Homo-oligomer: A and B are copies of this chain.
Amino acid sequence: MKKQHFTDVPGADVPPPAEGVKIRWLIDDETGAPNFAMRHFEIAAGGQTPFHAHDWEHEVFILTGAGTVMSADGGSDFAPGDVIFMPGGEKHCFKNTGAELVTMLCLVPLDAKKS
């Protein structure tokens, strides 16, 4: 068993075209996970992740802040406690539309780390 506080994991700035986004890989293959990875994202006020698509799914839980998730269907506002499933192959991005930091968990299959 391994336990740590999420802030004990160093955060890395996600390069452009992401804007104001920091990522922490909380659990991954280096932790011993065989299957999927837990990541923590921070999106600063006005920031957003790239509008892109990839083969793997996202399983997201919003922890703090307010924003909009864009997908092929248009935009949908999110708030703390919201759960988002983004299937593989669907274009998407997460925007912070509020004044507070957006923080969220976003889990992916480990294959996503190799891409």
Contact = CB atoms under 8 A, between A and B. Distances in A.
Interface of A: 1-7, 9, 26-27, 31-36, 38, 57, 59, 61, 63, 69, 71-73, 76, 78-79, 81-88, 90, 92, 105, 107, 109
Given A35-B36, A35-B109, A36-B36, A1 B57 contact: no
- The complex is assembled from copies of this chain, and their number is 2
A1 B35 contact: no
Contact of A1 (B32, B71, B109): B71
Contacts of A90: 1
A63 B107 CA distance: 16
A62 to B, nearest CB: 9
A106 B82 CA distance: 16
Contacts of A5: 79, 81-83
